[in-house]
Structures are given as structure tokens and as C-alpha cells.
Amino acid sequence: MFFSKEIVQNEANVLYDDKEILDVLNAYHNDSFSRENQIGTDREKMFKLINNYCNKFYKNCLVSTLEEDFYNKFLLLFMPSYSLTLTEKEIKIVLNELSAFMEYINESHGIDLYKSYRKNFSANVDEILRVYYILRKIQKYTEACVLSFNPMIIDMNCYKKRKKAKEVSKREMYEQGHFEIIDKIGGIIILKKSKLNSANSYIKIKVENSLASDMRCKDIINMRIKKRFFYTTWDIIDVKDYYSYKISKYID
């Protein structure tokens, strides 16, 4: 079978039109958003998250270097930081947008990122929603006054807690960093500080049984904690991020 020179050249342009991922993202935005008049919409807002993601992990990277876990890293590594500021509806919008962008990459540059996407989509959407709800529920065990930004939920008792905390601060010890869940006993969560093998790195926090049941072994919590002398469990000061066990290999 023979192909015309023009057809071969066109296919080569698709397969080897290698550009930086941010340039491809801008081209996708100009083509899709301008044509559909999506400027200023919720979709535009969610697109900015994808732009932030690419800037953080793929700045100056060529589109040909994108790996199959491009989607999984966005969902499980990048998204948890936004769990308190996004609604469930917005999470679904941004996932649809990322799907459309990957389809654009495939059509324009011949790079198929859909294999991993199709294989893991349902399971990973369930996983990010699990993390989403855990991060919101766990806030009431912290000293954070703002429990959620969208919708805005404020704990009016937190100021009293902070005042009391200052009074006993000299009788407390503090830790912070990434902690991996290694076991659960009812509402007692046993964790160890990531990257440390010492037995002294094990800590315990207490939450409601219903919340504990949603947490998984090897999930990672990025948090600040404190413990009063003679107490066996630690109190959570604040939780910065909560990561699924599925993405633990990417956590520093």
C-alpha cells in the first residue's frame, strides 16, 4: 500500500510536532475557550488549576515527555490541596476539562494518554472524592478556625481553643511533616513519620470511628501536631494535605 507524500507529511507533523506542554495548553485554551465563549465561566476557573498543575510539574517540558500518569498525578497529588476550596461540582468540571485537554493532545500531537485514564478513571474519581470528604471532616479535629472555604464554614469556638493552647504551650511537644497511616484501632489512627524507620516516630491521633473507617493504611497526612506531656495521643494543629495511598510514591 502506498501513501501520498502529502498524507505522510501531515501524519509526521502530528506525530512529531513537539512543543512545550504550556504552549500546547495555551493553544488548547485559545482554540476551545474562545470558540465556545467560555471566558469568565466556572470552566475557565477550573482551567486555571490545570495551568497551575502544568506550571508546577511540567514547566519547560516537551509534550512528548508526558507520562501515562499525567492524569493520576493531577488527581491524587495535585488536587488534594484544593479540597477545601472546591465544591464537588467544580471537581467534576476540572476532571472533564483535563479529559478534553488530553484528547486535544492526542488529536494534535499523536500522544495517547488515555490508556491510564480509561483504566483508572472511575476508581480514581472515587478516590479523590474520598480524600475530599476526609479533608473536610478532619478539620473539626484541628485548631483551624476556617473548616471550609467553599462553602465558607467557620468554627466560632476555635479562638477559645487557641487561647487555651497558649496557656499550656510550655507543657507540649510539637511535630510536623508527612505521616503515613500504618494501622487503625477503632478511632485511634497509628501513623509514622515518612522516611523515618525509628520506633520513636510512631504517633497516635484520635478521631470518630466513622472518619477512621474512611481512612486507609498508607494514606499520607501532611500536618502539624502537638502532644501534652503524659498523654498518649497527639492533637492536630492543622492539616495541610491528605494524600491517597495510591500516590504515596510521589510524596517527598
Per-domain residue ranges for the chain? 5-136, 168-250
* 247 within 8 A of 77, measured Cβ to Cβ: yes
pLDDT per residue as tens digits for the range 52-109: 999 999 999 998 888 878 888 898 899 888 887 888 888 888 988 998 898 898 888 8
Predicted pLDDT at 75 = 86
pTM of the entire predicted model:
0.77
Residue 87 has, within 13 A of its CA and on its CB side, a CA count of 8
CATH for 168-250, among 2.40.50, 1.10.1060, 3.30.9, 1.10.10?
A: 2.40.50
pLDDT per residue as tens digits for the range 195-237: 655 455 789 999 999 999 999 999 999 999 998 888 889 999 9
Sign of torsion over alpha carbons 236, 239, 243, 244: positive
* 116 contact partners, CB below 8 Å, separation of at least 6: 68, 69, 70, 71, 72
* 38 contact partners, CB below 8 Å, separation of at least 6: 32, 44
